[in-house]
Amino acid sequence: MFLMFAFILGVGGGSFFDISQEVVLVIAIAAISLVAVFYRRGSKFLSFPVAFGAFLILAFSAGVLRFDVSESLIKVLTNFNDTDINLELWGYINDEPQRLIDKQRLILQVKEIRVPDYAVLTDEKVLITVNLYPEFQYGDFVSVEGKFQSPKNFDDFDYVNYLAKDGIFSLVYYPKIQKISESDFLNPQSIFEDIKISAFRQIFRIKKVFEESVERTVAEPNAALINGILLGSRENIPQDLKEAFNKTGTTHILAISGYNITIVGLYISFIFMFFIRRQAAFWFTVLGIVIFTILTGASASVIRAAIMGILVLLAYREGRFHNMANSIVFAGLVMIVLNPKVLRFDVGFQLSFLATLGLIYLAPFLSEKLKKMPELWTFKENFIATLSAQIMVLPVILYNFGSFSLVSLPANVLILPAVPITMFFGFLAGVSGLIWLRLGEAIGLIAWLFSEYEILIVRIFSVIL
């Protein structure tokens, strides 16, 4: 636990302060030398606390170096930002396209840069804005020709670091774009990339088929809300309803969070336990959580919840005690090792972990203080959980957004009990609609009823504001 904390603090230190790599290496080497030269069993020169302190210094140094390495990655395309040079890029769509009212946003994984006299192999990301049609899908191989721009910050939004955390440093607006064949590349994709692209394509196709089934079995805008709760899809939700969710501080219901994935994990585990042995059910449940994480776009909150959920399942499978504090720190460590920028620049990452820490540490304290409060079904539990999470995330919300919804607490308390039921019947409606439309519509009526209740609560509280 302490070593993980030391590494995370090192990444934080590296992101906020310009710490020389040479200084870090000298400190790390000194710490290693201290242990290697003097520490031995029963040594009078170096006690265990001092040795452990040396390892903490080493872990902190490793965190600083990890952030520095992520900062020093070669970015070829940035050399062409804000110039009049037209570049031709070859690559593939590396994420689900974001479709807005009149345009699409695509993340292009650039594999080749082509100019009149030469070609350069690379592996970078570019955010591209194109017309709404023709549509593109994840895994499409494309060539893009246009001029590059550097991201610019808005008055109240650090857009540069928001993109940088995902490795995006260049933008292209309305370029010449066309689909191409993978065989045209100078350097074919690796076997791993081919497997990843093929697998993700199938997963996203299943997602689209399921979303269309929900839309056939449940009336709008409730179908869009259910797809948002189940899969994080927010494209078809009316703008006025999105604004109502924003005003009431209930937007997290539309963006898949740990709460949603916990419910999904429980449902998957419950279903498999009926048909196969517990040991096999564990692996199918883990696979289901991983696929669900991919389906929902793998946001910080979902990845955190997925890692923690798998650790809970693993502890249960091995007959070991599960420690929530260890799990959340380990989940954070894994995410920070893979992408050090999320610690400072990903607000979703910060909100997700702070809210979870509130549930772990603050909720028991509030529960003790409010033990005389009547239960009233799940009212007390939801009230304490919501209050704990909102107290913890309040500083980050005020710092980043400058405001806080006063009706967020009552709105969440009233809505949260209906979310698991909406998810359950919304999922059943989508699956049943693929088999027999009439059955899907019958089940969808129940999902519509609970989602309509959620919409009603959100609209009422948004009017109060």
Tell me whether residue 141 is in a domain.
yes
Please state at what angle helix 324-338 crosses helix 2-16, rounded to 10 degrees: 40
pLDDT averaged over 10-residue windows placed end to end, the chain, 465 residues: 89 81 72 64 60 81 84 78 86 87 89 79 89 89 90 79 83 90 76 83 86 91 88 81 85 68 70 70 80 73 76 75 80 87 83 83 86 74 83 83 77 84 88 90 93 92 80
Q: Which of 71, 89, 104 is the last residue of a domain?
A: 71
| Same domain membership, residue 214 and residue 81 | no
Q: Is residue 100 part of a domain?
A: yes
Question: Is residue 372 assigned to a domain?
Answer: yes
Tracing tokens 């419910």 back to the chain, one arrives at 263
Q: Tokens 């390495």 sit at which residue?
A: 69
- What is the pLDDT at residue 58? 83
Q: Are residues 155 and 23 in the same domain?
A: no
Question: In which residue are the tokens 């059910």 written?
Answer: 281
Residues 28 and 155 in one domain: no
Residue-level pLDDT at 106: 92
53 shares its domain with 87: no
* Domain closes at, from 30, 47, 71: 71
Give a yes or no: residue 193 inside a domain.
no
| Domain-located, residue 196 | no
Shared-domain flag, residues 84 and 35: no
Residue entry with tokens 């479709």: 99
Residue 190 placed within a domain: no
Per-residue model confidence (pLDDT) at position 456: 93
Contact 144, 177 (CB under 8 A): yes
Separation of alpha carbons 148 and 285, rounded Å: 43
Q: What pLDDT, on a 0 to 100 scale, did the predictor assign at position 214?
A: 92
pLDDT of res. 129: 93
Same domain, 133 and 161: yes
Q: Within this chain, do residues 310 and 381 fall inside the same structural domain, yes or no?
A: yes
Count of the separate structural domains present in the chain: 3
In the prediction, which pLDDT does 127 show?
A: 93
Q: Rounded to two decimals, what is the model's pTM? A: 0.76
Q: Domain range spanning residue 287?
A: 205-464
Q: What is the pLDDT of residue 254?
A: 73
Least Cα distance to 70 among 345, 383, 254 occurs for 345
For residue 306, what is the enclosing H or E element?
Answer: helix 300-318
Q: Which of 134, 208, 126, 131 is nearest to 168 (CA)?
A: 126
Look at residue 218 in the predicted model and tell me its pLDDT: 92
Give yes or no: residues 240 and 373 share one domain.
yes
- 357, two tokens: 């820490």
C-beta separation of 292 from 264 below 8 A:
yes
pLDDT at 442: 93
Tell me whether residue 211 is in a domain. yes
214 and 142 in a single domain? The answer is no
CA atoms of 11 and 220, how far apart (whole Å): 45
DSSP bridge partners of 172: 128
The CATH code of the domain that includes 83 is 2.40.50.140
Interatomic CA distance for residues 456 and 355, integer angstroms: 26
Please report the pLDDT score of residue 259 as a whole number.
61
Phi, psi of 248 (to 5 degrees): -95, 5
The pLDDT score that the predictor gives to residue 386 is 82
